[in-house]
């Protein structure tokens, strides 16, 4: 199943990419029907049609995002997970989400890689 419509989300994806893909170590690739973003090998977020799912936000940040922008739990293959879809219907929504994306990016940078 495809969760990301490139045509419908073209303007938002272009604006998002122009900002995050210049950050050190950030890459993007389509996976599981979504447009996924990584810092190194760690998941940053992924775009879905009319929304964005940020990975591993703190409860405080997640609550703030829910209060500000609303949204709904992310569903994949009939399963509802703990991940939250924050609506992105216009470029103004993207501006409100970007501080949370940047914070997640910086959290990944501050975590030490696991040694085996």
Mean pLDDT, residues 22-27? 96
Q: Which CATH class is domain 10-110?
A: alpha beta
For residue 9 the two structure tokens come to 């989300």
Query: pTM higher than 0.85 for the full model?
Result: yes
Average pLDDT, the chain: 90
Question: What number of CA atoms fall less than 13 Å from residue 28's CA on the CB side?
Answer: 15
Beta strands 79-87; 51-54: pairing state? antiparallel
pLDDT at 114: 60
92 by Cβ neighbours in 10 Å (0-12 / 13-18 / 19+) ranks as exposed
Query: According to the model, what pLDDT value does residue 115 have?
Result: 58
Domain boundaries, the chain: 10-110
Element (H, E) at 84: strand 79-87
User: How many angstroms from the chain centroid is the CA of residue 51?
Assistant: 8
pLDDT digits (tens, 9 = 90+) for 37-93: 999 999 999 999 999 999 888 889 888 988 988 888 888 778 887 888 999 989 999
**The pLDDT of residue 116 is above 60:** no
């Amino acid at each position: 199943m495809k969760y990301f419509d490139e045509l419908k989300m073209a303007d938002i994806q272009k604006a998002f990419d122009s900002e995050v893909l210049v950050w050190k170590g950030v890459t993007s690739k389509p996976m599981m029907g979504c447009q996924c973003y990584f810092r190194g090998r760690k998941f940053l977020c992924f775009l879905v049609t009319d929304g964005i799912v940020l990975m591993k936000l703190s409860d405080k940040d997640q609550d703030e995002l829910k209060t500000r922008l609303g949204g709904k739990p992310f569903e994949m293959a009939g399963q509802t997970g703990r991940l939250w879809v924050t609506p992105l219907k216009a470029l103004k929504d993207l501006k409100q989400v970007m501080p949370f994306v940047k914070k997640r990016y910086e959290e990944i940078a501050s975590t030490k890689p696991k040694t085996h």
